[in-house]
Copies of this chain bind each other. A is one copy, B any other.
Amino acid sequence: MKKEILRALRETDGFVSGQELCSRLGVSRTAVWKNIRSLQDEGYEIEAVTNRGYRLAGVPDIVAEEEVGSRLETSRMGRQIRCFSRIDSTNQYAKKAAEDGAADGMLVIADEQTAGKGRRGRSWVTPPGETIAFTLLLRPKLSPDRVSMVTLVMGLAVAKAVNTLYPLKAGIKWPNDVVINGKKLCGILTEMSAEVMHVNHIVIGVGINANMTSFPEELSRIATSLKLELGRDVSRAELIAQVMAEFERLYEKFEEDGDLRAVSEEYNALCLNAESMVRVLDPNGEYTGTSHGINALGELLVETESGQVRNVYAGEVSVRGVYGYV
């Protein structure tokens, strides 16, 4: 109900009458009033003026279920939301919930992670109030070797969402780091539960540096935040909702084709490694070449000096820009 009230207030530029809220939600005036009071207690500034109704004057930066849910325009992603002010790791929670039967599209959000994970067991810092940490659960019909493509779709969705909401130019460092001005904004950790040729479910954990103003010494040269780039705070709930919208649109295309053919053009337009020199850290021998962006399988196409084009598989090798971090 609070989610519906917020949605109604947000959709209206001005006041919404109590009567309208009552009929729209099919509840009594008292019920509306109680929920408005409860929202005010949570930090929402809602003006109440006799004979005019209610107006949303300010929202707190919280990542509560109703705050995210009332902004979602998706039909599949985030239809079920679990919000935590503090949790060990959203990926851990989502994986366990998935084993217990949680549905495709479930979104797990945390204000603070006490044991956030990066790739290969590295830790990922999620201090309260400053970052975005969420995990999306999917149950795709995929074989395990196609899962890396979903990670690319999420990277693209985050970059798109950032560029839609803010006057920034976020790009993608292949396969899925989102980068602004040469510094990393977002990390993605995709994990799957699978049989040998059959995926049970995947969880995609996304960490976005939203309102952080400082980083640990070892990260400060390579990491940035939206606040550092914009000079102001951002609404985390708004960004999560926008990422979900972008992801749902892109993922539908991916699901229809079973690969990235309909997505690769958008990806390559934002891919910072496309048409640039890269160094491929292949365990079987490093080499340098010109990257031509991804193909329909999400592989990075790298043309070596001899003119041979190699397909570089995500995760198999590491790619570094010849100049700087990207």
A residues lining the B interface (CB < 8 Å): 92, 95-96, 99, 119-120, 144-145, 147-148, 151, 189-198, 200, 314-316
Contacts and interface: CB of A to CB of B under 8 A. Distances in A.
A62 B147 CA distance: 42
Contacts of A191: 193-195, 200
B197 A315 contact: yes
A315 B143 CA distance: 10
A190 B197 CA distance: 10
Contacts of A196: 147-148, 151, 190, 314-315
Choose among A92, A193, A196, A314 the residue with the greatest number of B CB atoms under 10 Å from its CB: A196
Contact of A195 (B99, B119, B145, B197): B119
B194 A192 contact: yes
Contacts of A99: 92, 95-96, 99
A16 to B, nearest CB: 45
A101 to B, nearest CB: 10
Contacts of A92: 99
9 contacts: A95-B99, A95-B193, A96-B96, A151-B196, A189-B195, A191-B193, A192-B193, A193-B193, A196-B314
Contacts of A200: 191
B197 A194 contact: no
A234 B282 CA distance: 52
Contacts of A147: 196
A99 B200 CA distance: 16
Contacts of A144: 144-145, 192, 194
Nearest to A192: B194
A211 B191 CA distance: 39
Contacts of A151: 196
A128 B169 CA distance: 62
Contacts of A194: 144, 191-192, 194
A217 to B, nearest CB: 27
A198 B196 CA distance: 14
A210 to B, nearest CB: 24
A34 to B, nearest CB: 39
A194 B151 CA distance: 13
A196 B176 CA distance: 12
A92 B97 CA distance: 12
Contacts of A189: 195
A288 to B, nearest CB: 22
A180 B196 CA distance: 25
Contact of A145 (B145, B190, B192, B193): B145
A92 B197 CA distance: 18
A193 B193 CA distance: 4
Given A96-B96, A99-B95, A144-B144, A120 B198 contact: yes
A198 B192 CA distance: 10
A200 B95 CA distance: 12
Contacts of A195: 119-120, 189-192, 315
